[in-house]
Structure 1
Amino acid sequence: MADVKHDRPDTDDYDVTQQVGHLLRRVYQRHLSIFQENASDPNLTSVQFVTLCALRDHGPSSQTELVKATAVDQGTIRGIIERLSARGLITTSGDEQDGRKIIMSLTPAAEHLLDEMIPAARVISELTMADLNPAERVALLYLLRRILNYHPELP
């Protein structure tokens, strides 16, 4: 039987393990592992930490504002809010101007946790980039920001 070639692009040299998305995902997985190993609170996830930091940086915020500040989707942020609220780290209250809007605020327990976690977060960032020299660290952060800013309308 004759070997029939179909009209399709040559894909033999495509190595998914060398693609930017795959590499970014693997680096992120490594970072999450370092986060869990070094967080001062073993029950705090990195995305919960980011949410608490957003509330610290922006003050009391609505769910929509937290989505924008954290780049976390609506469904995920809802679950994060529920878990942080159940742990007594945030409070929720109605917005005085818009009764439909719920506002999240940090509790004193969250502020104390952030005081402990921020030094740990600095160590976590250092460990994530431990194999890079200072110039490579600057270059990595510059390139990541450049990729993010290429389409600022995207999360």
Structure 2
Amino acid sequence: MVEAEYILARNVIKLANVIMTIRNREIKELGLTAEQADSLIFFSQHAGASAVDLKAYLGVAHQTARGIVERMAAKGLVTTHVSERDGRYKTVALTEEGRALCAAMAENGTYTGRTLLQGMSEDEKKQFFSLLTKALQNITTQP
């Protein structure tokens, strides 16, 4: 069984690497870095968030998060505004172009997911999703 578990772990790593390669290629074609793509998705899901919130989400230094926001603003993907609640706090909002890129990334992700599930029956897709969710829970709760 140890051999089967090792092969399974290797195949999961291979799958993750292939998915990341596809993601990185698609992000590059959109003119984004991986950090910018993750940041756009974060700000699309967290209205009124700031670089401080992005810092916590990405696990990076404050200066790094600010730099990401500034570069995205220079590209016209986001705007920043002084918060009405706290003048020291700048909120980040997606521009129309930023929203369009988020939509393109979602479409690319949907295509990748559809390709991954190709050839599986509906029952197999449900089982795959259930087992994948369980495996992720197992691995993320390890001490």
Corresponding position of 2:45: 57
Distance apart, 1:66 and its partner CA: 3.4
The structure 1 residue matched to 2:59, chosen from 54, 67, 73, is: 73
Deviations 1:119-143 (A, max 9, x none): 2221122234447554444334334
CA distance in 2, matches of 1:143, 1:95: 43
Corresponding position of 2:85: 97
Deviations 1:66-122 (A, max 9, x none): 356xx5212396154343223221122332323333321101211222333332221
Structure with greater helix share of residues: 2
CA distance in 1, matches of 2:136, 2:54: 18
CA distance in 2, matches of 1:131, 1:37: 24
- Give identity over the alignment, percent: 21
Bigger Cα displacement from structure 2, 58-67 vs 26-35: 58-67
The verdict on how the C-alpha distance between 1:64 and 1:118 changes in structure 2, with shifts beyond 3 A counting, is: same
Structure 2: unaligned runs, 5 residues or longer: none
CA distance in 1, matches of 2:120, 2:68: 32
Q: TM-score, normalised by structure 1?
A: 0.60
Instruction: Provide the aligned length of Structure 1 versus Structure 2.
Output: 139
CA distance in 2, matches of 1:27, 1:53: 23
Q: Does 1:125 align with 2:113?
A: yes
Larger radius of gyration: 1
The verdict on how the C-alpha distance between 1:26 and 1:151 changes in structure 2, with shifts beyond 3 A counting, is: closer
Question: Does the CA-based 8 Å contact 2:30-2:101 persist in structure 1?
Answer: no
Corresponding position of 1:4: none
Structure 1: unaligned runs, 5 residues or longer: 1-12
Using CA pairs under 8 Å that are at least 6 residues apart, name the structure with larger relative contact order, 1 or 2: 1
CA distance in 2, matches of 1:143, 1:36: 26
CA root-mean-square deviation: 3.9
